[in-house]
Amino acid sequence: MIRIQDLSYRYPEGGFRLLLPELDVARGEAVALIGPSGSGKTTLLRLISGILLPEAGRIHVGDQDVSSLSESERRAFRVAGIGLVFQEFELVEYLSILDNVLLPFRLHGRLRLRDADRERAAGTLQDLSLGDKMDRRPAHLSQGERQRVAIARALVTEAPLILADEPTGNLDPQTKGQVVELLRTKAGEAGATLLMVTHDHALLDLFGRVLEFGEEEGATTLVDREGAQ
């Protein structure tokens, strides 16, 4: 599903450099990404989703060579092909919760909004205990509730790849478990691949594979730790 070769990335501001000789993630895998703050986890998700372009190397997602797409092609690829949960949620303040969840359909012409999609969006919000808050604006939700809206939005298009950046960061322990279960279950049902950044070591048992970011002599290292399953 994801194939990365000889990847090199540097922010224009300089300083940090991500070097990744090789990474392969199979379709349907559930992978946790762990590692210290600043080690490049978010940067890697931005590269895989085509928000950032590598300086060198190749990133394939499915049959797309993401790094060779134009800006507008990358945007279309991202909206239709990836369910993204950003660290900062990126909710649209003037839209209701339900409309935030349905936003991917409005952003991309290839995704047509059908009644079934509305029902699925409402159902996912209900699964995340937000069923009674669908008509509210994001400003009238708690941080944890906003985070769950972002998760519902990532699930609604049933994309083949879900990238989630610390999606449980603002949640209480019980909700954390529920949210990861939901992400795992929905990804599993759809045969989707899941990559999730987390600092929560208690959640690692739920993943088939754990990749640990580190640094050695200025280069990124990614160590495959034994997953629990």
**Contact set with ligand ADP (CB under 6 A):** 11, 13, 16, 35, 37-43
Cα 158 to Cα 114: distance, rounded to the nearest angstrom? 13
Per partner kind, with CB cut-offs from 5 to 8 A, the member of Mg ion, ligand ADP, none near residue 40 is ligand ADP
Q: Is 127 strand, coil or helix? A: helix
Tell me how far, at minimum, the Cβ of 188 lies from Mg ion, in Å: 25
Per partner kind, with CB cut-offs from 5 to 8 A, the member of Mg ion, ligand ADP, none near residue 212 is none
Burial of 1 (0-12, 13-18, 19+ CB in 10 A): middle
Cβ closest to Mg ion, residue 99 vs residue 212: 212
Cβ closest to ligand ADP, residue 84 vs residue 102: 84
Tell me how far, at minimum, the Cβ of 200 lies from Mg ion, in Å: 14
Task: Give me the helices (H) in the chain, please.
Answer: 41-48, 71-81, 97-101, 103-107, 115-127, 143-156, 173-190
Per partner kind, with CB cut-offs from 5 to 8 A, the member of ligand ADP, Mg ion, none near residue 176 is none
Cα 221 to Cα 229: distance, rounded to the nearest angstrom? 23
Cβ closest to Mg ion, residue 42 vs residue 193: 42
Cβ closest to Mg ion, residue 83 vs residue 167: 167
Tell me how far, at minimum, the Cβ of 199 lies from ligand ADP, in Å: 9
Binding of residue 67 to Mg ion (CB under 5 A) = no
Per partner kind, with CB cut-offs from 5 to 8 A, the member of ligand ADP, Mg ion, none near residue 123 is none
Binding of residue 43 to Mg ion (CB under 5 A) = no
Cα 155 to Cα 45: distance, rounded to the nearest angstrom? 17
Helix pair 115-127, 143-156: axis angle to 10 deg? 140
Cα 211 to Cα 198: distance, rounded to the nearest angstrom? 11
Tell me how far, at minimum, the Cβ of 102 lies from ligand ADP, in Å: 28
Binding of residue 42 to Mg ion (CB under 5 A) = yes
Cβ closest to ligand ADP, residue 207 vs residue 213: 213
Residue with tokens 């990404």: 33
Tell me how far, at minimum, the Cβ of 36 lies from ligand ADP, in Å: 7
The footprint of Mg ion on this chain (CB under 5 A) covers a number of residues equal to 1
Count other C-beta atoms under 10 Å from residue 176's C-beta. Answer: 19
Cβ closest to ligand ADP, residue 44 vs residue 76: 44
Q: Give the CA angle between residues 13, 107, 135 to the nearest 5°.
A: 110
163 neighbors 44 (Cβ within 8 angstroms): no
Q: Give me the residues that bind Mg ion (CB under 5 A), please.
A: 42
